[in-house]
Amino acid sequence: MPAPDGTFTSACPRNCYSTCGLRVTVSGGRLRRLEPHAGNAATPQGICLKGLSYIDRVYAPDRLLHPLARIAGTPEFRRISWDDALDTIATRLVALRRDYGPQSLLYYSSSGTKGLLNGVGDRFWRLFGGYTTTYGDLCWPAGLEATRLTLGANEHNAPWDLANARVIVLWGKNAAETNIHQMAFVDQALARGASLVVIDPRRTETAERAALHLQPRPGTDAAIALAVAHVLAARGWIDETFVAQHVHGAGAFRERVASCSPAWAAAIADVPEAQIVRLAELIGTQPPVTICAGFGMQRYTNSGQTMRAMLALLALTGNIGKPGAGWIFANLRTQVFGGEKDPLAFYPPATPDGVVRVSISTAMLGPHMLATQDPPLKMSWVERGNPIPQNPDTSAVVRAFRALDFRVVVDEVLTDTAREADIVLPAKTFFEQSDVIGAYWHDYLQLRQQVIEPPGEVKPESEIYRLLAARLGIAQAEIDAAIPAEDAIERWLEARLQASVPGITLEALREGPVRVASSGDIAFADLQFPTPSGRIEIWSDEAAARWTTDPLPGFVEPVESTRERRTPRFPLNLLTPNTKHRIHSQFGNLATMRALEPHPVIALSPADARARRITGGDMVRVFNDRGTLSVRCRIDDGLKPGCVSLHNGWWLADGGAVNVLSAARETDMGFGAAFHENLVQVERA
């Protein structure tokens, strides 16, 4: 049940570093005010633009409040009752299970909203008899796997420890837009005399604060890291004692980088040789050093090895397990609840359990859906995701969904994916059902309380599944054991807490965020690494065995590279960064965000614009063999020539869905999506 009027603890459940603690004020049964919760020491400063727009989002005029059914043969929908919607879905499911088997259903769930209750979908579809689902992830798996192989676990120092660093390297990360709370700790470090390095082809808001800004050719970061290691070895800036005691494979790595001079890397990455040397000097002589790696650079076909090369720099200089030092990529200390589809569940099971077929690569969603047989896919259920514009090779994803006999989407608004559905069911917001969430930048568990009733006829996913189960003949005892009823949600959450993190209670979480009990501010402070050797592994036999890659970090050109292909048709690297106005494809429908960024715009460097006789404001075609976009252009003096930049997250309906241009291909490890590896051409429309 919702809380009475007042101010309550909550937390933002979006797929974002910050996972901000919130204070939510309700009056008259409506949201009235959102404020930061000071109990979350990682996010006490304020709420981002997206968070400030939540009240608009809950009461948005285009929010779905009733089930919809497609009008046959048209792109239009009509309102239907819940009984009609669920009866139709149940009839389809019974026939599907009878005629093709339950694994002919694709259950696609993504990370649009975080929470323990997300796991009810898996439980329901198992009771149904099975399903087909995806493996891998769009977001971060190459970096997670590279970190696991090297350090043994994905955890890092507490966010506020960054203020203790003397050198901070934001490598492929624009924290001023995508991790705004981190910038407060960066600023504290700078006030104490630290140096900030930014490595990014764009001159971003973050780069404006940097003492050193490298602008590499996309996909060449590993070459820079190898050359930095070369300089560290040549100048005697390696912590020999630390390496001898805690690093496996350093000798072989030093032999490898002996030929990786700054001149070699400068020619590959197209950055000044002196900048590489200066980066090595900062890392080698001014400890403690923290490297914060962004998610974007680990979305290339060579990105796992790139991340391992970057990690090696910290290992060689002893910048692990100390205040102000270390690797910031993902902190999974709050991933303590077993039995869920957690971020480390990349791999298809070696022995399928006979119920769930894990056979569709998220990175290859469209092609794999179309190719699936025995049984073929006939129906889909999509929740917490918008795969049509968000997954690689949008055109193939559209074809794959249209090839199905029936499609159900659960969402708050009519996204691109929802517009392809036969039935659309209205989804709750996080203010309308209680849940417990973790994070991946800090180590707080948080409660997002139900504070208002769902509007219209909106139902939480758990209730939808319970109503559908009754129509499918699933025994009440089975469904009660798998999915809590609405009046049992908090008891269910309390039981999960006590089973996984004894001592953290729901009552404590009502007061505010609670850190996971085993956490400390400094990751690997005991210098114990859960790797096969018990050390930091620059040499990884597991990397070679699992991913058939070199056991040592190295550099290879991306598959789609101007250097490799040397094609005049598509000479520009397309960058598709995040923006502070959206989280991927969410929030872009809101009038408040449209006022700030009303339509998609592609940025070109002055040199690339002049060569094409393009001026700011022109309509341009951005294209390759996979697709074409027509968008407005702006000229960006801070963008590296040879690169163009268009924010991701626009829908097909907006005319700016960047994955129309991307290829369905995987990263070198982790089954990630290598969809940042795109060559395009731009010309005046």
pLDDT in tens, 488-531: 999 999 999 999 999 899 999 999 999 997 768 999 999 999 99
Statement to judge: residues 395 and 511 lie in one domain:
yes
What is the reported pLDDT for 583? 85
262-269 and 273-285 helices cross at what angle (nearest 10)? 120
Statement to judge: residues 288 and 357 lie in one domain:
no
Q: Which pLDDT band holds residue 582 (cuts at 50, 70, 90)?
A: confident
Tell me: pLDDT of 49 over 90.
no
For residue 73, what is the domain's CATH number? 3.40.50.740
Statement to judge: residues 79 and 186 lie in one domain:
no
Provide φ and ψ at 88, rounded to 5°: -65, -45
Residue type, 473: G
From CA 458, how far away is CA 428, in angstroms rounded?
6
Which contiguous run of DSSP H or E holds residue 479? Answer: helix 476-482
Provide φ and ψ at 621, rounded to 5°: -100, 130
Statement to judge: residues 494 and 402 lie in one domain:
yes
Q: Which pLDDT band holds residue 563 (cuts at 50, 70, 90)?
A: confident
Start-to-end CA distance of the chain, whole Å, equals 54
Statement to judge: residues 576 and 624 lie in one domain:
yes
In a domain, 406, yes or no: yes
Statement to judge: residues 585 and 611 lie in one domain:
yes
Which contiguous run of DSSP H or E holds residue 536? Answer: strand 536-537
In a domain, 86, yes or no: yes
Structure tokens at 29: 């049964």
Tell me: pLDDT of 30 over 60.
yes
Q: Answer whether 153's CB lies under 8 Å from 530's CB.
A: yes
In a domain, 198, yes or no: yes
| Mean of pLDDT values over 213-235 | 98
Q: Pairing relation of β-strands 572-575 and 643-646?
A: parallel
From CA 626, how far away is CA 628, in angstroms rounded?
7
Lowest-pLDDT choice from 197-211, 337-351, 541-555: 337-351
Q: Answer whether 340's CB lies under 8 Å from 118's CB.
A: yes
Q: Answer whether 24's CB lies under 8 Å from 58's CB.
A: no
The pTM assigned to this predicted structure is 0.95
Q: Which residue is associated with the tokens 């991307």?
A: 662
Average pLDDT of the chain, as a whole number: 94
Residue type, 8: F
Residue type, 540: S
pLDDT in tens, 239-271: 999 999 999 999 999 999 999 999 999 999 999
Angle (nearest 5°) at CA 299 between 628 and 648: 45
| Mean of pLDDT values over 81-107 | 97
* Domains of the chain: total: 3
What is the reported pLDDT for 77? 97
Whole-angstrom CA distances from 421 to 61, 72, 99, 408, 662 are 21, 11, 21, 5, 23
82-99 and 461-471 helices cross at what angle (nearest 10)? 60
What is the percent of the chain where pLDDT is above 70?
A: 96
For residue 583, what is the domain's CATH number? 2.40.40.20
Lowest-pLDDT choice from 129-138, 219-228, 582-591, 649-658: 582-591
Detail the DSSP E strand segments found in 317-378.
326-328, 356-361
Q: Which pLDDT band holds residue 336 (cuts at 50, 70, 90)?
A: confident
Whole-angstrom CA distances from 562 to 267, 270, 573, 678 are 13, 12, 8, 10
Tell me: pLDDT of 483 over 90.
yes
In a domain, 14, yes or no: no
pLDDT in tens, 417-447: 999 999 999 999 999 999 999 999 999 999 9
In a domain, 43, yes or no: no
What is the reported pLDDT for 351? 54
From CA 300, how far away is CA 217, in angstroms rounded?
13
Computed on alpha carbons and rounded to an integer, the radius of gyration of the chain in Å comes to: 25
For residue 300, what is the domain's CATH number? 3.40.228.10
What is the reported pLDDT for 203? 96
The residue segments making up the domain with residue 431 are 68-129+336-437+444-515
In a domain, 556, yes or no: no
Provide the phi-psi class of 400: left if phi over 0, else alpha when psi is between -120 and 50, else beta.
Answer: alpha
From CA 604, how far away is CA 614, in angstroms rounded?
9
What is the reported pLDDT for 636? 97
pLDDT in tens, 648-663: 999 998 998 999 999 9
Q: Which pLDDT band holds residue 566 (cuts at 50, 70, 90)?
A: low
Statement to judge: residues 493 and 594 lie in one domain:
no
pLDDT in tens, 662-676: 999 999 999 999 999
From CA 555, how far away is CA 484, in angstroms rounded?
50
pLDDT in tens, 627-643: 999 999 999 999 999 99
In a domain, 672, yes or no: yes
What is the reported pLDDT for 349? 54
From CA 433, how far away is CA 410, in angstroms rounded?
15
Q: Which residue is associated with the tokens 């040879």?
A: 642
Q: Which residue is associated with the tokens 């001149």?
A: 263
Angle (nearest 5°) at CA 645 between 640 and 646: 175
| Mean of pLDDT values over 470-486 | 94
Q: Which pLDDT band holds residue 338 (cuts at 50, 70, 90)?
A: low
Statement to judge: residues 316 and 357 lie in one domain:
no
Statement to judge: residues 412 and 299 lie in one domain:
no
Tell me: pLDDT of 341 over 50.
no
Name the DSSP letter for residue 453: P
Q: How far is CA 381 from the centre of its chain?
A: 21
Provide the phi-psi class of 613: left if phi over 0, else alpha when psi is between -120 and 50, else beta.
Answer: left
What is the reported pLDDT for 340? 47
What is the reported pLDDT for 1? 62
Provide the residue count of the chain: 685
Which contiguous run of DSSP H or E holds residue 245? Answer: helix 240-246
From CA 224, how far away is CA 218, in angstroms rounded?
12
In a domain, 236, yes or no: yes
250-257 and 221-234 helices cross at what angle (nearest 10)? 100
From CA 182, how far away is CA 175, in angstroms rounded?
7
| Mean of pLDDT values over 611-633 | 96
Statement to judge: residues 451 and 390 lie in one domain:
yes
Statement to judge: residues 286 and 218 lie in one domain:
yes
Statement to judge: residues 171 and 310 lie in one domain:
yes
From CA 451, how far away is CA 455, in angstroms rounded?
12
From CA 290, how far away is CA 313, in angstroms rounded?
10
Tell me which of 332 and 305 has the higher pLDDT: 305
Q: Answer whether 432's CB lies under 8 Å from 454's CB.
A: yes
Tell me: pLDDT of 94 over 90.
yes
Q: Which pLDDT band holds residue 337 (cuts at 50, 70, 90)?
A: confident
